[in-house]
């Protein structure tokens, strides 16, 4: 093999290695809400998890669940504070409401 062939082969190997490394590296780490959702979904919604996994969308769905949870939790907490609740009371009440929407989904039948 001549010098150009060796350089092209090395470039291909390096490119493939970089691409494989990027595929293994998660785009973003899940927060506590994402981890809670994953544990709950796997136990109580295994069909949904299987479908999302087959579509390659499980991580995306978990991230969306945690983002929506955080956004609605913050919004509801602020509203509840304006109605006269303490910060802790507002947080606890908001968490009770929002967690059912995205994290602790009803069990599959």
Closest CA to 37 of 55, 70, 63, 73: 63
How is the chain split among helix, strand and coil, in percent rounded to 5?
Answer: 80, 0, 20
Q: What is the pLDDT of residues 34-51, one digit of tens each?
A: 999 999 999 999 999 999
- The structural domains of the chain, with segments of one domain joined by +, span 3-102
Go through 48-58 and write b for each residue having 16 or more CB atoms within 10 A of its CB, e for each that does not.
Answer: ebeebeeeeeb
Digitized pLDDT (tens) for each residue of the chain, 109 residues in all: 556 556 656 555 544 444 444 444 445 688 999 999 999 999 999 999 999 999 999 999 999 999 999 999 999 999 999 999 999 999 999 999 999 999 999 999 8
Roughly what angle, to the nearest 10 degrees, separates helices 32-44 and 58-82? Answer: 120
């Amino acid at each position: 093999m001549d010098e150009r062939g060796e350089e092209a082969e090395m470039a291909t190997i390096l490119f493939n290695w970089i691409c494989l490394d990027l595929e293994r590296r998660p785009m973003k780490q899940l927060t506590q809400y994402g981890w809670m959702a994953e544990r709950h979904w796997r136990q109580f919604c295994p069909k949904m998890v299987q479908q999302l996994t087959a579509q390659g969308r499980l991580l995306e769905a978990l991230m969306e669940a945690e983002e929506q949870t955080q956004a609605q939790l913050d919004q509801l907490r602020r509203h509840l504070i304006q109605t006269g609740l303490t910060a802790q009371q507002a947080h606890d009440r908001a968490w009770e409401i929002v967690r059912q929407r995205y994290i602790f989904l009803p069990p599959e039948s």
